[in-house]
A and B are shown apart, each in its own frame.
Chain A
Amino acid sequence: DGGITQSPKYLFRKEGQNVTLSCEQNLNHDAMYWYRQDPGQGLRLIYYSQIVNDFQKGDIAEGYSVSREKKESFPLTVTSAQKNPTAFYLCASNMGGGAGNEQFFGPGTRLTVL
């Protein structure tokens, strides 16, 4: 079955530590996205990538970093510079191209900073 997997489902981090969230897709999609979701709020875009080895900052990129070395993978690192990292993180992908293309979402990773 094609889809997007995110791991782990729950992640706990001590303050001052970097942590990497995994996102893998087998949909053969060109574009991948990372969003952050806070309680009672919509999703906010962190980073996105339209092609391998290229990515762009979204609206709230500060304190985060990404890489896109393979088409299937788009890991997100939450660095110690991120002031308030506790949130639900969602990865998505689509085939790229026009605005009408659906984004497919993974199940999410809930990050808690202790």
Chain B
Amino acid sequence: GNSVTQMEGPVTLSEEAFLTINCTYTATGYPSLFWYVQYPGEGLQLLLKATKADDKGSNKGFEATYRKETTSFHLEKGSVQVSDSAVYFCALSHNQGGKLIFGQGTELSVKP
């Protein structure tokens, strides 16, 4: 069946460090891929998405590229800020009622 695997957290970085959070997926065909962010005590917000192979999603300095050959959608940011501290979820949707399948989430903590 369809599934998403993320790197385990927590990830702790210093401000202005480079961020990578790995995400790989298992699915037939061409799912849509998403990164959501959750700040403490809140719901999820869409960070970026990609709907076909080789698409790059980007938002707020974050980027991720849909790699069909490696079934990956790794999240990157060149210079993190303290305000980026949150939990990041990778997810896929395969047009089965628009349902999302989530990875387990990766907690990011950025220190000043």
Contacts and interface: CB of A to CB of B under 8 A. Distances in A.
Contacts of A108: 41-43
Interface residues of A, number: 30
Interface in A32-91: 33, 40-45, 48, 50, 56, 58, 90
A105 B89 CA distance: 13
A17 interface: no
A4 B94 CA distance: 23
In this complex, the interface size class of chain B, counting residues with CB under 8 Å from chain A, is 20 to 34
Contact of A42 (B45, B98, B105): B105
B42 A99 contact: no
Contacts of B22: none
Interface string B43-57: 111100101000000
A43 B102 contact: yes
A4 to B, nearest CB: 8
A44 B101 CA distance: 8
A82 to B, nearest CB: 20
Interface of A: 4, 6, 31, 33, 40-45, 48, 50, 56, 58, 90, 92, 94, 96-108
Interface of B: 4, 31-32, 34, 36, 41-46, 49, 51, 89, 93-95, 97-100, 102-105
